[in-house]
A and B are shown apart, each in its own frame.
Chain A
Amino acid sequence: MTLIAVVKEECETCRLIVPVLAHLQSALGLEIHAQDNPDFPKSLQVTDDTELKYSWQQRIETVPTLIRLDDAGNELERTFGWDRAAWESMTSEKLDFELPAFRPGCGSMTQDPGMPEKLAARYDMEKLQARQLTIASEEDEMEACFDRGWSDGLPVVPPTPERVMRMLTGTHRDPAEVIGVVPPDLIPCTIEKVAINAVLAGCKPEYLPVVITAVEAALQDEFCMHGLLATTYYSGPMVIVNGPLGRAIGMNSRGNALGQGNRANATIGRALQLVIRNVGGGKPGGVDRSVFGNPGKYTFCFAEDETNSCWESLAVEKGFTGEDSTVTLFAADGLQGIVDQKSREPDSLCRSFAAGLRVAGHPKMVLASDAILVVSPEHERVFRLAGWSKQQVKDQIMELLMIPGEELVRGAGGIAEGLPEQFRDKTLPKFREGGFNIVRAGGSAGMFSAIIAGWGASGSTGSTPVTRRIALT
């Protein structure tokens, strides 16, 4: 049997139990590891752990900690702080030193702020595989990241081992796990590479499960990330988060939900884009051939506002429960407003929405792009008061967007663009079946909604939206 105590001099309880430590060392050969002063306790045999290697490897969180090992070195039990009954039971010694029966311990120095990631970077680096690059001390860290091409144009957070280790505390998954193959260079992407890019993007560790799931969704074949990257169209991947996790990490689903100012919204969408850029090698001017791009290609990520909504959420529509947290990826263009401050009846408001949706891509373009309509609370109220479900609204808008071929053919309206003449006598839907969806988000004041049209190649031709559950265990 081996007995081990981990202590620090700064801890009052550790100082209090010095007579106990002395007794156990002489009686049972207690090993003592000191975190702050290798001469504490004085005149006892102490192992210097001021580098905290032993404490880190033993996952010590409190001092004093008493550990009992069997002869093979396997841990049998441990106790924290000073608890006479527990210490007597573990050592089978009478420990009557006129001490109180119980005193709580202090925090281990391994738990000091900033210390866990430092120690992980010092002692756990074998868990990581990414190449380590040495930056000369004269180099500016931020400029070094720009110079190496890691940035989308805005500053990135330098990916030091400490930051990457801290990011990885956000997931239980093995850093070496491959989660998919990233286009255009078709590079296998590990959890570790996602974490490094999440650092660059400015994510907190608690966002990492959302980022990982967004990357996994983007790499599904039906999302068609390669084509979405390579297209001359405007689009890029947009992330919609549903469920409790979005609320827990403080995502914005309300005022300015599609705008700037919320760290989770901003950095999760950006991390996905940086994975495509850095791991996949997808860069503007390279495989990214977009004519314009759109501002959402820096980041486009928001949460659906499920609180007090009369509608089921996008995730529930896709077959998940309200307790599931999900990400939905959509190949999105920018935002087009639809302002209607007068409609108080569902039919009137649906007509406004349909008129706005009609122009997605081109007023004559049908069965090409998908669209997501982001309905504000004041617009949703119109439907709530009338008792309209989300499905009813979708059906009504799809019905209003059944367009006579004579309006769509080439030359109609004096516009050369259009469908071949053979479609003149047909009636065609603006959107493919399942290609039009609704979410609720936005600020509480303002009878505005937002149309987010999609890539002109939707469904099996191009991209199908992908919804995926965020696994937390």
Chain B
Amino acid sequence: MTTFMDPTSERDPGSRQPLPRPTDLSGKTVGLLDISKPRGDVFIDRLEDLLVQKGLKTRRYKKPTFTRVAPVELKQQIAEECDAVIESLAD
């Protein structure tokens, strides 16, 4: 364990913060990432229906296997093409 002295104004919490979440999805493109677990597609199909009904754009992605983290190229592609991503775990 290492200790650092905080170089900032200390206005933010000391722990590492997740990226800010979008407050509104209107006009945004939402990525739907299937991690390749069985029946993940069923779950994502239903999510996509609901999102499209709300007028959102969606894009589908799939990890080659659920046993490993997503390849860097796939993560870069999602980051370039989408404003938000929903990763689905199903079984």
Contacts and interface: CB of A to CB of B under 8 A. Distances in A.
B6 A196 contact: yes
B1 A131 contact: no
A150 B1 contact: no
Contact of B2 (A128, A135, A197): A135
Contacts of A135: 1-4
Interface in A272-299: 274, 278-281
A107 interface: no
B69 interface: no
B9 A133 contact: no
B27 interface: no
Interface of B: 1-11, 14, 16
Contacts of A274: 7
A200 interface: yes
Given A133-B14, A147-B16, A148-B16, A279 B5 contact: no
B7 A161 contact: no
Contact of A164 (B5, B8, B9): B5
Interface residues of A, number: 35
A158 B4 contact: yes
Interface stretch (A136-144, A241-249, A424-432): A136-144
A215 B8 CA distance: 15
Nearest to B1: A137
Contacts of B9: 182, 185, 187, 278-281
A160 interface: yes
Mostly, the A contact residues are: mixed
A409 B45 CA distance: 64
A1 interface: no
10 closest A-B pairs by beta carbon, nearest first, are A131-B6, A187-B9, A196-B7, A135-B2, A278-B7, A278-B8, A130-B5, A159-B5, A164-B5, A133-B14
B20 to A, nearest CB: 12
B4 to A, nearest CB: 5
B1 A136 contact: yes
A193 interface: yes
Given A185-B9, A196-B5, A281-B8, 16 more contacts: A128-B5, A131-B5, A132-B3, A132-B4, A132-B6, A133-B14, A134-B1, A135-B4, A136-B1, A139-B2, A145-B4, A159-B7, A182-B9, A197-B7, A278-B8, A279-B8
A157 to B, nearest CB: 11
B7 A150 contact: yes
A199 B6 CA distance: 11
Contacts of B1: 134-137
6 contacts: A134-B1, A135-B1, A144-B4, A159-B5, A199-B7, A279-B9
Contacts of A200: 7
Contact of B3 (A145, A161, A187): A161
Contact of B8 (A134, A139, A150): A150
